[in-house]
Each structure stands twice: as C-alpha cells, then as structure tokens.
C-alpha cells in the first residue's frame, strides 16, 4: 500500500516528470493531465487517453513529479492562490505550459505541449485578412476563445511577423511566457508574471514608460488591465491581448461589463475608437483523428462596425459580419462549413461547434 490505495504489480509510477513529457511528445498529444487517484492522461486528437501502463498516482506522487519544476516564488504563489501558471523547456523534449492547482485538497496539473517553433500565420488556418494585422501601427486587436483554443499561438505568430518586417520595440507581458521570441528586426522584451512583474496591470503601466511600439498583454483579466490596455491603444500603440468571450460580437459587451455602470458609456466610445479587429477561435478534432484544426471568426472593425459599437447596437454587427467577406470578415459558421467541405472535420463536429447549427445545415444543404 502507498498513498492509501493498492497498486497492481504490473503497473508503475513514473520516476521523473521528463518520462511523461517525453511520452506526450512522442505520441503527439496536445495535453497531459495529472490528477490524484488516476493514471496520467493524454489528450490525443482532442480525446482523453489514459496511459494504462502507469498506476494511479497518489497525491505525493504528483507533488514529487511537479514540485521540482517550480521556483521558490512559484511555490509561494501556488500555496497562496492555490494555482500557478508557468512554462518549462526540457532539452530533447520541448516546451510545455502548465497550470498546477489544487482539487479536493490534492495537487493536480495540466501540461500543454507548445510548438517547437513559432508557426507562421499562413500555417494556422486563419483567413488571409489576418495576415494584414501585423501592419497596423496602433489600436487594439483581441483574440477570444476558451482555454486551449490557440489564442497564444495566434498572437505569437502576429508578433513574429512584426518582428520579421518592422523595426519596433515590442513588450510582452505573459503568464507564463509560452513562445520565446528572439530579436530579428524588432527589439522584443518579454516579462513573465511573478518572475519579472507582480501583475498584468503593473507591467502594462510600466510598459508605457518603456518606449514601446507594440504591447502584448497575455490576458485582459481585470478592470485595471483592461482600462490601461484601452488607453495604450488610444495613445498610438498597437496592443494585442486575449479575452474569454464566446464570439467576436459578445467581446464588446464582455469588456464593457467589467466597468462600473457610470463608466460604461465612455468605455463604449473608447472601444469604438480603438478596437481594430477581433478573432474568435476554436480548436476542433480533425476528421482523420490526426490532431486538431482551427475554426475562426474574424471581425474587422470598419467605420460602420465602430459606429454600431458606439451606439450600443452590438446585435446589428452580425449582419455586417455575415456579409463582410470582401473586407476580410468571416463568421464561425462560414469557417465551419469550409472545414467540412475540405473534409478536415465531420458534420457532427461542425454542428456542435456552431453558434447557429441551422445555418451550417443550410449552407451544407443538409
């Protein structure tokens, strides 16, 4: 007996986390989950797959595997806040983002495998209109979607394109740093939460005094960060960030709703003037079972869209989005239909991912 439960003799406990991370890499899994009283679990092709050769992990097993990856400061944050984000790179294996957290009093951990290199924009499956976003010199670009929908990868690809084309000073504030950028034409300074700076808001305020041209904020997660990001975008900087919103149009209400009622009218005016584009993303299982593919909705903020945001008529933006193909716009339903027609995803996946499944059926003549 160990950890309060019996283990079959033919199964084993991994000696080091490197063993599991190598398994994650070799099986081309996107994620590795460690949770008490379960064997290690991989996400392969969008589906969870237990590693049956390993025994169920006890709470102490997980602590022994994960704690060596944490700095003393990260351990403090974990014990204070009961979760912490970080990224690790292991020679010969690759880089991983991980979130360590408590559940039912025991440590658990989710690892996300990161690409060895920053992908090119053309490799992500985004509309060509997104390729023009790195050419912007001011304003706010938001990428929305659930956790694990590829938001950080899209932003990294945009930053890398700026780095390749322009001489700019780029400051990123991330939790954690997922993709490491090296100076090409631009100068890039990357700051990590809890390692280089105590909060997004503090880092963003400091960035405005560091002569930036481009600022990447890993996540707009609180009022002060959102307020400062909008102000930076209004004052001539290009600001990129992520947000949790279900689609491009609801993003505006999501941002405005963070502010007190008496400030919301003013914030709406500021958003109308500063937002340049919104991308909403989902990563969906491929039809052939070989990984996942990106479905994306893209809203380009034209003068007509900005006016509707200013007037608080967000619901009317949908019509512009649906008919804005020539301006580089694309609805999620249009993206899903295209993926089905290219035989990259099956119809059931498309319908489950659609905001309006009836529209997908209509386009596919089902």
Give, for 360, the enclosing helix (H) or strand (E).
Answer: helix 357-363
Split into its structural domains, the chain has a count of 2
204 assigned to some structural domain:
yes
pLDDT at 290: 83
Torsion sign (Cα): 42, 48, 52, 57: positive
Question: CA-CA distance, 64 to 233, in Å (whole number)?
Answer: 44
Residue 109 sits in a domain of what CATH number?
Answer: 3.30.450.90
Over 80: is that where the pLDDT of 3 sits?
Answer: no
Q: What is the mean pLDDT of residues 80-105?
A: 93
Q: What is the dihedral of CA 319, 328, 297, 365, to 10 degrees?
A: 70
Confidence of residue 9 (pLDDT cuts 50, 70, 90): low
Question: CA-CA distance, 330 to 17, in Å (whole number)?
Answer: 42
pLDDT at 5: 47
pLDDT at 116: 79
Least confident among 8-17, 185-194, 266-275:
8-17
- Asked whether the beta carbons of 158 and 298 are under 8 A apart, the reply is no
pLDDT at 4: 46
Confidence of residue 70 (pLDDT cuts 50, 70, 90): very high
**pLDDT tens figures, 219-253:** 998 999 999 999 999 999 999 999 999 899 999 99
Over 60: is that where the pLDDT of 338 sits?
Answer: yes
| Residues near 362 by beta carbon (within 8 Å), at least 6 away in sequence | none
The parent domain of residue 151 ranges over: 121-330
Residues 157 and 267 in one domain: yes
SS3 303: helix
**pLDDT tens figures, 198-207:** 888 999 999 9
Residues 197 and 313 in one domain: yes
- Asked whether the beta carbons of 20 and 14 are under 8 A apart, the reply is yes
Boundary of a domain, candidates 84, 113, 142: 113
| Residues near 101 by beta carbon (within 8 Å), at least 6 away in sequence | 82, 83, 84, 107, 108, 109, 110
Residues 161 and 88 in one domain: no
SS3 123: helix
Over 60: is that where the pLDDT of 283 sits?
Answer: yes
pTM over 0.75: yes
Question: CA-CA distance, 206 to 67, in Å (whole number)?
Answer: 31
Confidence of residue 195 (pLDDT cuts 50, 70, 90): confident
Residues 108 and 129 in one domain: no
């Amino acid at each position: 007996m160990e950890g309060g439960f019996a283990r079959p003799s033919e199964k084993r406990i991994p000696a080091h986390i490197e063993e599991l991370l190598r398994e994650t890499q070799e099986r081309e899994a996107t994620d590795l989950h460690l949770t008490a009283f379960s064997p290690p679990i991989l996400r392969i092709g969008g589906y969870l797959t237990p590693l049956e050769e390993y025994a169920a992990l006890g709470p102490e097993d997980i602590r022994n595997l994960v704690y060596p990856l944490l700095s003393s400061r990260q351990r403090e944050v974990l014990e204070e806040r009961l979760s912490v984000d970080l990224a690790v790179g292991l020679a010969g294996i690759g880089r991983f983002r991980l979130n360590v957290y408590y559940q039912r009093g025991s440590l658990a951990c989710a690892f996300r495998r990161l690409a060895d290199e920053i992908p090119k924009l053309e490799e992500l499956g985004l509309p060509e209109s997104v390729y023009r976003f790195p050419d912007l010199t001011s304003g706010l670009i938001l990428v929305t979607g659930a956790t694990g929908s590829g938001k950080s990868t899209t932003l990294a690809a945009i930053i890398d394109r700026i780095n390749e084309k322009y001489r700019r000073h780029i400051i990123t504030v991330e939790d954690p740093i997922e993709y490491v950028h090296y100076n090409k034409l631009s100068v890039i300074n990357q700051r990590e939460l809890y390692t280089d700076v105590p909060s997004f808001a503090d880092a963003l305020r400091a960035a405005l005094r560091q002569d930036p041209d481009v600022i990447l904020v890993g996540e707009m997660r609180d009022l002060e960060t959102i307020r400062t990001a909008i102000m930076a975008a209004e004052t001539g900087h290009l600001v990129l960030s992520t947000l949790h919103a279900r689609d491009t149009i609801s993003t505006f209400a999501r941002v405005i709703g963070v502010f007190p009622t008496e400030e919301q009218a003013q914030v709406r005016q500021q958003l109308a003037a500063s937002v340049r584009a919104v991308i909403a993303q989902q990563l969906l299982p491929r039809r052939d079972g070989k990984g996942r593919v990106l479905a994306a909705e893209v809203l380009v903020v034209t003068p007509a869209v900005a006016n509707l945001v200013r007037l608080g008529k967000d619901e009317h933006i949908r019509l512009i989005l649906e008919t804005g193909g020539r301006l580089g716009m694309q609805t999620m339903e249009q993206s899903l239909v295209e993926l089905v027609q290219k035989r990259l995803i099956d119809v059931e996946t498309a319908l489950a991912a659609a905001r309006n499944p009836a529209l997908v059926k209509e386009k596919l003549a089902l």
